[in-house]
């Protein structure tokens, strides 16, 4: 039990799993589960209650139960509390090597989601989680927020390893038709979204930047009841990606 905290601190580094380090924090059982399924390198995983964590694995991730039995190192809950900022209710924490998938070029079978200067880390994580679930090609962010921040990874439930997740300047986005969400655009229901589109969403407070708005091939509006000012960022992305999914041929 004494070896695990020392190794954790060595792997986490001075930043303790913060952005820019050699590892990032996987906060909770579900983040660890998804990261492992999609190929993350996890050098260390801890459990405040290993039998309970393995019971979760047998129930929710039987494909990983054997691997987790070997990987999880038991530590006392009070020790775990000294290693992570806020222990997850599942009592599981792990460190993973951040290895972003490359951004796929054209032709792409699925859209890329572009978040234009997002400010809320939880929203970024929620968009990554739903983009992975919908089979999008990736999530790109502009601005200063780090899409690999521990709070983003927590909200994304560890699905950063399932799709491409990168921060890019607005003038270095990949090629592809840019469909930008804007209240003055064409109703989304009247459009078919091409599979290699870039779907751009403005920040929670300011909306689209003038740079992305000017670059857009098409402005697109979500249907909204009069008097309602906006949707949550993750909700807007979910509605748009569902529209894309609904337009695909069955089985594709």
Per-residue model confidence as pLDDT tens digits over 20-31 = 568 999 999 999
User: Is residue 155 one of the residues assigned to a domain?
Assistant: yes
Q: What is the mean pLDDT of the chain?
A: 92
Q: pTM of the entire structure?
A: 0.92
Question: 119 and 89, same structural domain?
Answer: no
CA 55-58-63 angle, to 5 degrees, is 145
Percentage of the chain modeled with pLDDT above 90: 83
User: Is residue 106 one of the residues assigned to a domain?
Assistant: no
pLDDT value at 33 more than 90 = yes
Higher pLDDT, 140 or 230: 140
Question: 242 and 165, same structural domain?
Answer: yes
Domain that holds residue 92: 3-96
92-96 and 24-27 as β-strands: parallel, antiparallel, unpaired?
A: antiparallel
Q: Where are the beta strands (DSSP E) in 177-216?
A: 178-187, 198-201
pLDDT bin (cut points 50, 70, 90) of residue 71 is very high
User: Is residue 141 one of the residues assigned to a domain?
Assistant: yes
* Cα–Cα distance for residue pair 153/167, rounded to 1 Å: 14
Q: Please choose, from the candidates 98, 85, 92, the residue with its C-alpha nearest in 3D space to the C-alpha of residue 61.
A: 92
Give me the number of domains the chain comprises.
2
pLDDT value at 51 more than 90 = yes
The mean pLDDT value for 137-166 works out to: 95
CB-CB neighbours of 32 under 10 Å: 31
């Amino acid at each position: 039990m004494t070896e695990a905290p020392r190794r954790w601190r060595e792997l986490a580094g001075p930043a303790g799993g913060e952005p820019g380090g050699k590892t990032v924090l996987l906060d909770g059982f579900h983040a660890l589960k998804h990261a492992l399924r999609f190929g993350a390198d996890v050098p260390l995983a801890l459990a405040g209650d290993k039998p309970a964590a393995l019971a979760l694995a047998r129930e929710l991730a039987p494909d990983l139960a054997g691997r987790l039995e070997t990987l999880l190192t038991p530590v006392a809950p009070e020790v775990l509390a000294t290693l992570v900022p806020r222990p997850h209710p599942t009592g599981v924490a792990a460190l993973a090597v951040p290895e972003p998938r490359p951004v796929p070029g054209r032709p792409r079978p699925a859209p890329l989601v572009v978040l234009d200067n997002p400010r809320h880390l939880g929203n970024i994580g929620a968009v990554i989680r739903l983009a992975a679930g919908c089979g999008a090609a990736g999530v790109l962010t502009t601005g200063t927020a780090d899409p690999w921040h521990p709070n983003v990874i927590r909200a994304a439930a560890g699905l950063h390893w399932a799709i491409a997740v990168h921060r890019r300047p607005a003038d270095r986005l990949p090629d592809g038709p840019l469909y930008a969400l804007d209240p003055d655009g064409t109703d989304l229901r009247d459009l078919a979204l091409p599979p290699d589109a870039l779907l751009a969403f403005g920040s929670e407070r300011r909306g689209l930047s003038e740079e992305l708005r000017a670059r857009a091939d098409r402005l697109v509006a979500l249907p909204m009841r009069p008097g309602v000012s906006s949707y949550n960022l993750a909700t807007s992305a979910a509605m748009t990606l569902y529209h894309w999914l609904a337009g695909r041929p069955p089985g594709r």
